[in-house]
Structure 1
Amino acid sequence: MTELVTLDAYGSLIEPATLKIQRFLPATMERVWAYLTDSDLRRQWLAAGQMETKVGAPFELTWRNDDLTDPPGERPAGFSEEHRMQSRIIEIDPPRKLVIAWGANGDGEVSFELEPKGNGVLLTLVHHRLPDRGIMLKVSAGWHAHLDILVARTAGTEPGPFWDGWVRLHSEYDRRLPA
């Protein structure tokens, strides 16, 4: 269990355009899987969107980050109240692995891998093919903030304001990730 306590909350680049971030979630594999695949649960930490759980199935994610926490914090300039993205399932192995295309053109790819650890689950998220540093910083801060909310949801606690955390994390990733 000690390895989980020392788990670094920050994502790191495992390749020049690939971010890896991990979280220990105090829940069962099935519960975490539901938070990845069920629209009503996923909207509580990331984005809503009905998902047919089969390879090749298209789906749309709808972010409403102002609704994730109460209060939401102050939304930074350049972000809208709602964001939508087309995607599709690339690989699925319930309840262990989900890989989705990131964007309609499949320019990027995100994998979620679940592994039972002690009284919970180790979630490993890998975001491949981040096109440039600006997007890498936004995505790193975003995944970090969204995963913090997922940890809080699975632990039954209230997360801090989403946007305040995202702004702080964006600055921290700017210092942590290579220019």
Structure 2
Amino acid sequence: MNDLANLNAYGVLTEPATLEIQRLLPGPIERVWAYLTDSELRRQWLAAGHMQMQAGTPVELVWRNDELTSMSGRRPDGFPEEHRMQSQITELDPPRKLGITWEGGGEVLFELKPAGDKVLLKVIHRRLPNRDVTVMVGAGWHMHLDILVARVSGEEPEPFWDGWSRLRKEYDRRLAA
């Protein structure tokens, strides 16, 4: 599978305003799909929020990043304890694709592909408005996906904010100005 040969832990810009990041997770695909769509499972690595599994329906995502890991690390100034985002399901093909709108006019597409006993998860975040947001989003997706990998593998993830702060510096270095 060509995607597996090119798997890189870091997100890459596939277009000027599109970030793509991938992770290989233990299967089966239905288990990984549940971590994308079930509020309680999604809350453990990203954000809570009930999803009515139908394209066009609204979704409120609720982030509480301080609660994602047993030790959260130091939350950077300017980040609230809780963040809520109104979204909408734009694409739905269980258990392979989930698309949602993103605050600020963007869109995120989650694609799942079986890869033997594993599942390739691809996250494509489109229409990022500028480099600063792209750096923050890159670090965010990277850290959230690292937590997902740890959760489905039965491991303890790195403290969220410590990892995000480290990754933000790395994405600032990696993404061209």
The normalised TM-score by structure 2 is 0.96
Q: 1:76 to 1:59 in 2, by over 3 A?
A: same
Question: Who is 2:173 aligned against?
Answer: 175
Asked whether 1:115 is paired with 2:113, we answer yes
The answer on 1:95 being equivalent to 2:73 is no
The residue number in structure 2 matching 1:153 is 151
* Contact 1:60–1:85 under 8 Å retained in 2: yes
Q: How far is 1:2 from its partner?
A: 10
CA contact (8 A) 1:27 1:155 kept: no
1:69 maps to a residue whose letter is: T
Code of the residue aligned with 1:65 in structure 2: it is N
- Give the superposition deviation at 1:177: 0.3
- Percent identity at matched positions? 66
Q: Look up the SS of the partner of 1:111 in the other structure.
A: strand
Shift of 1:3: 7.1
Contact 1:63 1:83 (C-alpha < 8 Å) held by counterparts: yes
| Cα distance in 1 for residues equivalent to 2:18 and 2:153 | 28
The answer on 1:43 being equivalent to 2:43 is: yes
Task: Report if aligned partners of 1:114, 1:121 keep a CA contact under 8 Å in 2.
Answer: yes
Q: Note if contact 1:23-1:123 (Cα within 8 Å) is conserved in structure 2.
A: yes
1:5-154 alignment runs, 5 A limit: 7-103=7-103, 107-154=105-152
Q: What letter is aligned with 2:116? A: G
SS at match of 1:142: helix
| Aligned-partner SS, 2:112 | strand
Kindly state the Cα deviation for residue 27 of structure 1 after the two structures are TM-superposed.
2.2
CA distance in 2, matches of 1:27, 1:73: 30
Structure 2: gaps (5+ residues) = none
Report the count of equivalent residues: 177
Once the two structures are TM-superposed, the CA of residue 6 in structure 1 deviates from its matched residue by: 6.4
Q: CA deviation at 1:119?
A: 1.5
TM-score, normalisation: structure 1? 0.95
Unaligned runs of 5+ in 1: none
Matched residue SS, 2:54: coil
